[in-house]
Amino acid sequence: MSGPSAQRATATLLGALLLVIPLAVAAVLFASFASAGLQRTYTLFLINLVAVLGLGAFSGNSGILSFGHVAFIGLGAYASAILTLPLATKASALPHLPTLLAGLEWGLPAAFVASLVLVAVFGLAVGLPIMRMGGAAAVIATLGLLLIVHGILIGATDFTRGANAFLGVPRLTNIWTALGVAVLALLVVRWFRDSAAGRQLRASREDETAAKAIGVDVLRRRLVAWTLSATIAAASGVLLAHFLGAFSPSKFYFDDTLTLLTMLIVGGMTTVSGAFFGAIVVTLTIEVLRRVESGVDVFGWETPELFGLTQAGLCVLILIVMYRRPAGMFARLELGEAWIRGWLGRAGGTPVAAASTPVAADVAPGLLRADGITKNFAGLRALDAVDLSLAPGEIVGLIGPNGSGKTTLVNVISGLILPDSGKVAVDGADVTDWPSFEVARAGIGRTFQNIRLFGQLSVLDNVETAALAARGTEAVPADPNARARELLARFGLLDLADRPASALDYGAQRRLEIARALALNPRYLLLDEPAAGMNPTESNELLRDLAALRAETGIGLLVIDHDMSLIMRLCDRIVVLNRGEKIAEGSAAEVQSNPAVIEAYIGRKRARQGASIPTSEGVS
């Protein structure tokens, strides 16, 4: 394992231990000194912690809230209950059970594993359609999952006794089994969060389109996280079944869903520490409110029963957190993450070569070609049979008035939108209808006119995620961390490596987006107005950087820009679009003196009066 990767793993483990150790110490204290009632409370807390860690592994990393995880908890509980129920109880309580199940009376370990496998398979199966939806549709679908599974638990009377209580489940969960599973869950979710898959998923949470543009297979990452989190939720269900000994389908419905979501939201969805502290705060709140709810003795005065106080209290808790700290208590950094990294020596501190090594020196002979691209938006012809080619080592400028179709062309080439007709080919391979993440992996990097960074991730992580996504392509960097640092150094961003990307100024954000696009070692890079919002000094620097990049690496660059003088100085060839049509192509001098171009920019009247194209403004 390389230096930075080993350090990252150490930081992950130390971060997990910061949570595991207090958990274990508290368990020892509760087991030694606390009343039986308090021990049960702590055990239940550990079970809830497993559930919320499971939920966070998916919702926190993907950004998609799930209302469905209590269904996995319920399925885990019923599966393990059926497998472990004593034969005599089984014969009387579940007389219609299939013979295969009727004869089973397993111990907890076997039932545990079998239940987890069962729920994992179920989770994967329902995840396939739900993950495809993404966004709000996926959230609603998880709610549907909760309702459907609840219905099934009630309907499958042969297995569950329907709405009746399922009794006689062996009470095998004690404080130590719960602790063991909780520790394991903590280590697994903490590891997943920092793994390559977890980090790519978090990038997609910040900006799905941008994640795809750096080669992240968002659907697959989501599916992995969803299945993992369903499995962990099921583990919590198994523990719960053997803790309670008796339950009915109503246990696995809205009440517990609300509790679970409150824990996640209060603590902060995006970190494991958030799930951890959310579980503590909410458990304490519930314990206190539940006592008050059933009436307490205040200096001899018996308070009345306050039905629903617990639920109301949780809602108020959510509101307070939303108002005071919308992202939760641990919004971005894990507990201790900053100082552990600092202590381990600035995440590797790999020496960065001053001049930085070439990106993709072995440029394959080839061409990026877009042929006859036509695209209509509801009757508006945004592109009309446009041809464009870009060779490695070439810098082509793409100009045209606002709304002439430049961005649309880049979107078509990078696989973000499908053209109505026409073909895009990379080095001979037809990529026209490939998903954008595969186009990226085929060697096309891009930036966006409206900057799309992973705002909450650090500057370093923005680039490193892209380097990680390059794995499995021809352009694998040996060490993604070193590669990311090298690119940050090249664009003058290394000092800002630990800042969240959203905290950078405009010019730095634009440079970061370019660095990120380069982490995938593209052979062609499409830059949509890279100098927009930069001051003249910054855009001159950018110009120099881009020219040097081309010289060193032989990458092919397509540059869209407002600044005509920048385009004229930088580009070997210029393509001009107007109202979706290519109206000119050639050298700076040729394009500048082309009557059609002058007319498109300045209008017929002034063109006749001999005006020429302005070179710094008024052009987009």
Smallest distance, Å, CB 212 to ligand ADP? 16
Please, which contacts does 94-99 make with residues 24 or more away whose CB atoms are closer than 8 Å? 94/158, 94/159, 94/161, 96/157, 96/158, 97/158, 97/159, 98/158
Smallest distance, Å, CB 200 to Mg ion? 27
Burial class (CB in 10 A: 0-12, 13-18, 19+), 5: middle
Angle at which helices 36-62 and 254-267 cross, to 10°:
70
Q: How far is CA 524 from CA 188, 369, 471, 529, 552, in A?
A: 38, 11, 18, 16, 14
For ligand ADP, the closer CB: 307 or 377: 377
**Residue 407 lies near Mg ion (rule: CB under 5 A):** yes
For ligand ADP, the closer CB: 21 or 418: 418
**Residue 160 lies near Mg ion (rule: CB under 5 A):** no
For Mg ion, the closer CB: 69 or 406: 406
- Between CA 15 and CA 517 the distance in angstroms is 30
Span from 175-183, 220-228, 231-239, 400-408 in contact with Mg ion (CB under 5 A):
400-408
φ, ψ dihedrals at 304, nearest 5°: -75, 165
Tokens encoding 197: 């898959």
Smallest distance, Å, CB 23 to ligand ADP? 49
CB-CB contact of 199 with 461 (8 Å) = yes
Q: Which residue is nearest to Mg ion (CB)?
A: 407
- Between CA 266 and CA 255 the distance in angstroms is 16
φ, ψ dihedrals at 208, nearest 5°: -65, -45
Smallest distance, Å, CB 421 to ligand ADP? 16
Smallest distance, Å, CB 382 to ligand ADP? 4
Binds 338: which of ligand ADP, Mg ion, none (CB < 5-8 Å by kind): none
Residue from 327, 330, 539, 337 nearest 458 by CA = 337
Span from 184-192, 406-414, 514-522, 576-584 in contact with Mg ion (CB under 5 A):
406-414
**Residue 449 lies near Mg ion (rule: CB under 5 A):** yes
For ligand ADP, the closer CB: 210 or 360: 210
**Residue 565 lies near Mg ion (rule: CB under 5 A):** no
Binds 377: which of Mg ion, ligand ADP, none (CB < 5-8 Å by kind): ligand ADP
Residues of span 501-520 touching Mg ion by CB under 5 A: none
For ligand ADP, the closer CB: 400 or 554: 400
**Secondary structure class of 522 (helix, strand, coil):** coil
Specify the residue for token string 């040097």: 548
Binds 69: which of ligand ADP, Mg ion, none (CB < 5-8 Å by kind): none
Span from 82-90, 225-233, 301-309, 446-454 in contact with Mg ion (CB under 5 A):
446-454
For ligand ADP, the closer CB: 166 or 448: 448
Binds 404: which of ligand ADP, Mg ion, none (CB < 5-8 Å by kind): ligand ADP
Binds 402: which of ligand ADP, Mg ion, none (CB < 5-8 Å by kind): ligand ADP
Residue from 57, 54, 101 nearest 79 by CA = 101
Residue from 199, 57, 271 nearest 519 by CA = 199
**Residue 615 lies near Mg ion (rule: CB under 5 A):** no
Binds 405: which of Mg ion, ligand ADP, none (CB < 5-8 Å by kind): ligand ADP
The conformation of residue 448, written as its DSSP 8-state character, comes to -
Pairing relationship of beta strands 524-528 and 444-446 according to DSSP bridges: parallel
φ, ψ dihedrals at 417, nearest 5°: -130, 150
- Between CA 63 and CA 160 the distance in angstroms is 34
Angle CA 461–462–468, to nearest 5:
70
* Number of residues in contact with ligand ADP under rule CB under 6 A: 11
Contacts of 205 (CB under 8 A, 6+ apart): 61, 62, 63, 270
- Between CA 163 and CA 236 the distance in angstroms is 21
Select the residue interacting with ligand ADP from 110, 128, 338, 380 (CB under 6 A).
380
Residues of span 390-429 touching ligand ADP by CB under 6 A: 400, 402-408
Binds 127: which of ligand ADP, Mg ion, none (CB < 5-8 Å by kind): none
Smallest distance, Å, CB 373 to ligand ADP? 11
Binds 56: which of Mg ion, ligand ADP, none (CB < 5-8 Å by kind): none
- Between CA 130 and CA 225 the distance in angstroms is 13
- What is the chain's alpha carbon radius of gyration, rounded to the nearest angstrom? 29
Span from 67-75, 334-342, 398-406, 599-607 in contact with Mg ion (CB under 5 A):
398-406
Enumerate binding residues for Mg ion (CB under 5 A): 406-407, 449
Enumerate binding residues for ligand ADP (CB under 6 A): 377, 380, 382, 400, 402-408
